[in-house]
């Protein structure tokens, strides 16, 4: 509880003082201000969760997510039909924005649903792929900014059952398949922007008079609130991922926040709007330089240049790049939510499948250095990144080596602990170490065993002790 006193102080400073007390870092001890007494009617605004819970309850609620580290984001919807091309022209930018970017009239865009028929959709294959990649959770778009619901809904005809030849729920079967594979299942829901249900917000303003035929408050009451109630009660998602709080205000946001109690334990992000901070920070398409002070966080990122499927985007990140980004993120205490954009047939692009399988091969050998770890205790390392696990028995460091040392020595600057064991994680081969004035030095073989990222496991005696 004394951790509360540290709020507002930089994480690095707190980490060091906590570590010298033998406690875990900010990441695993983060907390929220206690809820002021006597304010029972209004939920606390601007706290981390907006839920009435103790810091211990919050830690319990966040536990699986903090340990999971790696998840699959799925952007799927009607935009996979045009797949980046409208009126014979390739439309620049992210594919799921094509309706907005090309100012496609509602009536025209809705025709795409008539050929959205994902007969090759195999939810168990998707869940199996996520599992094989080493991912521990899935978050899929239940409704993106185009307003199309991938689930049956009484609140709008603009949904997979009523508007497509496929005519069946897409969310329920994936929810079942994911859980059968031991994965946590989450839903993205675009609560503010909606370009087909009248009254929904639109970045850059409305371009079709249908969109102006209702107010945003009418849209919130008639579409967003009932649909969020439907998905929370029907699928009980482990995560509810809001996006782009355009034109949200406290009143609109509160109507949605109030529904969260329908799904105990749900984790939400910081994109609801109306002043709510949610549980997680969500840097998009970037990795923050130093992580976040006192906040859980998750980088979401595409494998090529688009979230929703574009037929001609072949700008794929390499497997090495993806694994190193995962290592970078986890070394800063965050999670990695990596996107796939399936086709309108229901297939995850082969380039994504290949890369995810390769990432999975690396994770199978090296996952111990990723799952349930906390942030690096070092400000900077010459060779790459580091994660750690702190237990009552001592501290384990996982050195994530990107740049193999030419002199055969990995330097852990300022580390004063005695080393119990140092090994190559992949093989268990022992490595020699010594304590120098500058810190601990680990001697490694001449050749880099795994050119993607080689992991060296270092078990330390006693509480972590780092002094410059
Ligand atoms: O769902 C994915 C994106 O569609 C969504 N968030 C991720 C997870 C997102 N919505 N907005 N943004 C991301 C910010 C980017 C806005 C842009 Fe644009 C869309 C830049 C170019 C197209 C808006 C329209 C700004 C310029 C044109």
Distances from the Cα of 401 to the Cαs of 277, 424, 441, 458, in angstroms? 35, 11, 14, 13
Q: Is the CB of 96 under 6 A from ligand 1?
A: yes
For the CA of 308, the nearest atom of ligand 1: 4
Closest to 415 (Cα-Cα) out of 367, 463, 347, 366: 463
Report the alpha-carbon angle 230-235-236, nearest 5.
Answer: 100
pLDDT in the model for residue 310: 98
Q: How many residues does the chain have?
A: 468
Cα-trace Rg, the chain: 24
The CATH class of the 64-369 domain is alpha beta
Q: Is the CB of 73 under 6 A from ligand 1?
A: no
User: Would you say the pTM of this structure is higher than 0.95?
Assistant: no
Ligand 1 centroid distance, CA of 363 (Å): 31
- Pocket probe for ligand 1: among 244, 248, 301, the residue whose CB has the most ligand atoms within 8 Å is 244
Q: Is the CB of 203 under 6 A from ligand 1?
A: yes
For the CA of 145, the nearest atom of ligand 1: 4
Domain boundaries, the chain: 1-30, 64-369, 384-461
Minimum CA distance residue for ligand 1 atom 12: 244
Ligand 1 centroid distance, CA of 149 (Å): 19
Ligand 1 centroid distance, CA of 97 (Å): 7
Instruction: Provide the residue-wise pLDDT of the chain in tens; the chain has 468 residues.
Output: 222 322 222 333 333 332 232 222 323 333 333 333 333 333 333 343 466 789 999 999 999 999 999 999 999 999 999 999 999 999 999 999 999 999 999 999 999 999 999 999 999 999 999 999 999 999 999 999 999 999 999 999 999 999 999 999 999 999 999 999 999 999 999 999 999 999 999 999 999 999 999 999 999 999 999 999 999 999 999 999 999 999 999 999 999 999 999 999 999 999 999 999 999 999 999 999 999 989 999 999 999 999 999 999 999 999 999 999 999 999 999 999 999 999 999 999 999 999 999 999 999 999 999 999 999 999 999 999 999 999 888 999 999 999 999 999 999 999 999 999 999 999 999 999 999 999 999 999 999 999 999 999 999 999 999 997
Distance CA 269, CA 307 (A): 18
pLDDT in the model for residue 200: 98
Minimum CA distance residue for ligand 1 atom 4: 96
CA dihedral 232, 151, 99, 219 (to 10 degrees): -50
Domain 384-461: CATH superfamily, name plus number? Golgi alpha-mannosidase II (2.60.40.1180)
Q: What is the DSSP letter of 374?
A: B
Ligand 1 centroid distance, CA of 427 (Å): 44
10 Å CB burial of residue 165 (0-12, 13-18, 19+) is exposed
């Amino acid at each position: 509880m004394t951790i509360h006193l540290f709020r507002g102080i930089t994480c690095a400073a707190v980490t060091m003082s906590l570590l010298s007390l033998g406690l875990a870092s900010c990441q695993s001890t983060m907390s929220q201000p206690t809820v002021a007494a006597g304010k029972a009617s209004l939920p606390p605004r601007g706290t981390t969760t907006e839920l009435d819970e103790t810091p211990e309850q919050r830690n319990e609620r966040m536990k699986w997510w903090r340990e999971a580290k790696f998840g699959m984001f799925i952007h799927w919807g009607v935009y996979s039909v045009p797949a980046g091309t409208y009126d014979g022209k390739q439309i620049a930018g992210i594919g799921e924005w094509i309706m907005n970017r090309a100012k496609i009239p509602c009536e025209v865009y809705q025709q795409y649903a008539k050929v959205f028929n994902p007969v090759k959709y195999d939810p168990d294959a998707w869940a199996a792929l996520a599992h094989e990649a080493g991912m521990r959770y899935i978050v899929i778009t239940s409704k993106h900014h185009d307003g199309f619901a991938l689930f049956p809904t009484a609140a709008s005809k603009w949904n997979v059952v009523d508007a497509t030849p496929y005519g069946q729920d897409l969310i329920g079967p994936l929810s079942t398949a994911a859980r059968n594979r031991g994965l946590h299942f989450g839903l993205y829901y675009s609560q503010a922007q909606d370009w087909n249900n009248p009254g929904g917000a639109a970045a850059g303003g409305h371009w079709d008079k249908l969109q102006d035929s209702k107010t945003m408050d009418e849209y919130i009451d008639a579409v967003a609130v009932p649909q969020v109630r439907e998905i929370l009660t029907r699928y009980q998602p482990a995560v509810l991922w809001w996006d782009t709080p355009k034109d949200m205000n406290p009143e609109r946001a509160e109507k949605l926040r109030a529904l969260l109690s329908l799904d105990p334990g749900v984790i939400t992000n910081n994109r609801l709007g109306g002043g709510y901070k949610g549980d997680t920070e969500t840097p998009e398409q970037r990795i923050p330089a130093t992580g976040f002070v006192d906040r859980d966080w998750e980088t979401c990122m595409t494998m090529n240049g688009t979230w929703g499927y574009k037929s001609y985007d072949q700008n794929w990140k390499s497997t090495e790049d993806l694994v190193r980004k995962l290592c970078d993120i986890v070394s800063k205490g965050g999670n990695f939510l990596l996107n796939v954009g399936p086709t309108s047939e229901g297939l995850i692009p082969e380039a994504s499948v290949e890369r995810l399988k390769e990432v999975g091969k690396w994770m199978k050998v090296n996952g111990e250095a990723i799952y349930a770890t906390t942030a690096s205790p070092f400000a900077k390392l010459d060779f790459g990144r580091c994660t750690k696990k702190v237990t009552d028995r001592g501290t384990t460091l996982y050195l994530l080596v990107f740049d193999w040392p030419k002199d055969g020595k990995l330097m852990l600057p300022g580390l004063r602990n005695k080393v119990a064991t140092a090994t190559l994680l992949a093989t268990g081969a022992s490595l020699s170490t010594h304590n120098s004035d500058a810190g601990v030095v680990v001697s490694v073989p001449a050749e880099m065993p795994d050119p993607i990222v080689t992991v060296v496991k270092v078990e330390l005696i006693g509480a972590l002790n780092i002094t410059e």
